Copies of this chain bind each other. A is one copy, B any other.
């Protein structure tokens, strides 16, 4: 039932505002609203009840194992939320003067420093509001760098075929052509293809390492050297940073710029789709181009750095300073982890992934890269099951939901058929991992007996399998009042 269906004309959550609007002094009638928008008219309790019950229809980290590959669905410490919502912080106006901002600014400055150290980069800007905006900032800086040198013939960004969709989309948003580089059968980049693609038109390459194939690109140094020799720069998609925290640093691998997904690696909430935060770190040569605002210090007080102090900056990415409240949560998380904690994150997320991979292989499932170590995530392909039992990755995914487990990422990366990209994260206990494996085995059993039944899953959720095709064909994108529909 939609909230609109609880609505009755004249009903109100009375405590929230006086009923009648006062006069709008000085505003010409022509500029005033005539027709009242049909927002819900409900009592406070009705709204509370509706949204409480609705929430119960979600899977979430707080209720289920959620091994969504590439998304790092780990525990979001509750303290991060509480502390970012302290009255003094949550009520701070973004344009408050420095005199009333030292607490906040000091935290942001320290976060910049922490992220520099973690990534091995020279400078960090916290401005980008999610991974994709971080990518934008990164590629825009690469472009600004080439432009500043008068090197304007570079028109291409190289992107491995396994890359996340945001990578090619970002290249285009920055005015580049995205050129795909194939991966080899072992998951590493095809060096010959890379070699062939490099040239004076190459502005740079976007890589993640570990890649979205769940393996570590072993020849990364060689790639870096080759791209640099060709005059291109290296962009690091930090979505998979969780795998290598405190073990190896993008800066040390030769990357020129990196974005981080704080909503992944630093465990800020995924919030049903966001918000995130996608700070960017750069090597020395890109430093002048970092997006503003940033936080500087004179060693004692903290202050904002904006276009004035950073004339070569690619500019602003948001009206204020990015997703500040998310950055605060990441700061709290980073402080709770400390240096040792960071490394343990990499260690145990890697342990969990390798354990799952091994157990799944032992149970007869097919690893996409059986010769490789898993990083913090790994891929299995269900193409055999699809062929032999007639149930594909989607069927496994939907049936897993019935077992109280959120499905892994399915059908991404695109180059592996019928794939599951599985990322358990370090915060899951072994019991969860075992439960997943048991469920996979059981589903395969079920399919042997009755594949049709598995294809009909899920059975235990608020709805059964939804008709996506109809959703896209018969667009119903908003509730309409009865009178309008008729």
* Chain A interface residues toward B at CB < 8 A: 6, 8, 11, 15, 43-46, 48-49, 52-53, 56, 61-64, 75, 77-79, 86-87, 336, 427-429, 431
Closest to A74 in B: B45
- Rounded to whole angstroms, the CA-CA distance of A43 and B117 in the bound complex is 28
Whether the Cβ atoms of B43 and A79 lie closer than 8 Å is no
Contact of A43 among B11, B52, B62, B427 (CB under 8 A): B427
Contact of A427 among B11, B45, B61, B77 (CB under 8 A): B45
- Min CB distance A414 to B, Å, is 32
Q: What B residues does A64 contact at CB under 8 A?
A: 49
Q: What B residues does A8 contact at CB under 8 A?
A: 429
Whether the Cβ atoms of B75 and A61 lie closer than 8 Å is no
- Rounded to whole angstroms, the CA-CA distance of A9 and B145 in the bound complex is 55
Q: What B residues does A336 contact at CB under 8 A?
A: 15
Contact of A62 among B11, B49, B63 (CB under 8 A): B49
Whether the Cβ atoms of B43 and A63 lie closer than 8 Å is no
23 sample A-B contacts, Cβ–Cβ < 8 Å, listed by A number:
A6-B429, A6-B431, A8-B429, A15-B77, A15-B79, A15-B336, A43-B427, A43-B429, A44-B75, A44-B77, A45-B61, A45-B75, A45-B427, A46-B429, A48-B62, A49-B61, A49-B63, A49-B64, A52-B62, A52-B63, A53-B63, A56-B56, A56-B63
Max count, chain B CB within 10 A of own CB: residue among A15, A49, A62, A77:
A49
Q: What B residues does A79 contact at CB under 8 A?
A: 15
- Rounded to whole angstroms, the CA-CA distance of A11 and B348 in the bound complex is 14
Closest to A15 in B: B336
Q: What B residues does A75 contact at CB under 8 A?
A: 43-45, 48
The 9 closest A-B pairs by CB, nearest first: A45-B75, A52-B62, A45-B427, A53-B63, A52-B63, A56-B56, A48-B62, A15-B336, A49-B62
- Min CB distance A272 to B, Å, is 15
Q: What B residues does A11 contact at CB under 8 A?
A: 429
Q: What B residues does A86 contact at CB under 8 A?
A: 87
Q: What B residues does A45 contact at CB under 8 A?
A: 61, 75, 427-428
- Min CB distance A325 to B, Å, is 18
Q: Told that A49-B62, A52-B62 touch, could you supply 6 new A-B pairs with CB distance under 8 A?
A: A11-B429, A15-B79, A48-B78, A49-B61, A49-B63, A86-B87
- Rounded to whole angstroms, the CA-CA distance of A48 and B64 in the bound complex is 11
- Min CB distance A362 to B, Å, is 23
- Rounded to whole angstroms, the CA-CA distance of A15 and B43 in the bound complex is 40
Q: What B residues does A62 contact at CB under 8 A?
A: 48-49, 52
- Min CB distance A96 to B, Å, is 20
- Min CB distance A194 to B, Å, is 41
